[in-house]
Amino acid sequence: MTTPIMTEAELRAAVERELPGVRADLERLVRIPGIAFEGFDHAYLERSAEAVAELLRGCGLDVEIVRADGQPAVIGRKAAPPGAPTVMLYAHHDVQPTGDRALWESDPFEPVERDGRLYGRGAADDKAGIMAHIAALRAFGDQLPVGVVLFIEGEEEYGSDSLEQLLAEHRDTLASDVIVIADSANWDVGVPALTTSLRGIVNCFVEVRTLEHAVHSGMFGGPVPDALTTLARLLATLHDEAGNVAVDGLTGREGATVDYPEDRFRAEAGLVEGVQLIGTGRITDRLWTKPAIAVLGIDAPATGEAPNALVPAAKAKLSIRLVPGDDPKKAYAAVREHLHRYAPWGAQVEVVLEHHGAPCVIDATGPMFDAARAAFRAAWDGTDPVNIGVGGSIPFIATFQEMFPQAAILVTGVEDPHARAHGPNESLHLGEFARVCLAEALLLAKVAEVGRG
């Protein structure tokens, strides 16, 4: 006999019942500083993986902690009822480094609520994604109408270097009809979204050298170019006067379908008064369908410690965002060629790739996407979800597309424009989080209905 699928009213009541415990467990996860970057204590990632595994076992899943020359990931699985589809639920338990802690209004690893938001590193990206999955499973209890496989990665913020190997090794276990990736954002507070395109990424280092060693700035300054000035001039060639990317070979286009009012964009970005936007075209095109280059850091003497000497070498880290359709390897070659070609005054230039990831486009049509939109519409009390692009990168989505070509991939998320993921004072809007939890529970119910025909 087929188990009845819980009604919307039953799921609303169940999610509301589970939310206090879900939030408490989210706060426990936020307190674990699991950072996969080099130089951090990776024992915290082991703790984080164990904590996630315990949560999944509490939902009745068969659980294992796995790794492939990287940080621990967690896989939990519960078989589908006869004839029902299986849904993979993805999130990650590692977080970004905190940066300068002086910029945080509270301890990044001690969650604090202020004005309806929960502050802490990972509170939004992406431990709330984990807990949205948990909330949906707890809401159903023993009446889960679909099979589920949870895949909680442990090094997404560090580039997912071992992900492809993990997917290959556990492909049969992870095989699903639908994949829900809870690592993106909604369009606004009160407006849900499905992410249908993401830019790719190339991170690299460029180092210029003009001297074998530092020399006196008075005795040699004038004829001799210092490396910092040289690097500054080289970096300036990456954009034209309007701020458009000026590297030959990086592709771009127009065609974004959602408008982003400039006043809203400026406020959400935190632009200081008087600063102009760079580039040309619609803001959403500049964010989603055109390339971008940013200087993330420069190795140079600190101003308080700098001697009166010409700096012999200087190094910068660049982040290049690529539009859907571009190729990361070709893009890196184009940037490298540009940096060598425009090196000022004959300076020696070395360019080293850190990592890259492919952009992707998702064809968000079909019954599973219709089910997702219906679930979002219900959770947001009649507000239609919008299709959005994302200027950021989740390169592994392209890997999922390649390995599971028959699966419908739904990219959702818990963030909103004020979440400040990756920055100081990251936070989660608790009201929107409750809607996300409800939406996921409704989604699983509607996927089950589609599966039953």
Give the residue numbers marked as catalytic. Answer: 94, 156
Q: Are 180 and 88 in contact (CB under 8 A)?
A: yes
The one-letter amino acid at 179: I
For 111-177, where are the alpha helices, taking DSSP H only?
127-140, 163-169, 171-174
Task: State the number of CA atoms in the 13 A half-sphere of 166 facing the CB.
Answer: 26
Q: Can you tell me the distance from the alpha carbon of 409 to that of 364, in angstroms, rounded to the nearest whole number?
A: 8
Q: In what order do the strands lie in the sheet with 427-429?
A: 112-114, 117-119, 427-429
Alpha-carbon torsion (258, 330, 97, 228), positive or negative: negative
Q: Can you tell me the distance from the alpha carbon of 326 to that of 291, in angstroms, rounded to the nearest whole number?
A: 9
Q: Can you tell me the distance from the alpha carbon of 232 to that of 219, in angstroms, rounded to the nearest whole number?
A: 22
Alpha-carbon torsion (336, 342, 345, 346), positive or negative: positive
Measured CA angle at 381 (ends 375, 382), to 5 deg: 80
Task: State the number of CA atoms in the 13 A half-sphere of 86 facing the CB.
Answer: 18
SS3 call for 409: strand
182 backbone dihedrals φ, ψ, rounded to 5°: -95, 70
Measured CA angle at 62 (ends 58, 66), to 5 deg: 110
| 7 C-beta neighbours (distance < 10 Å), count | 10
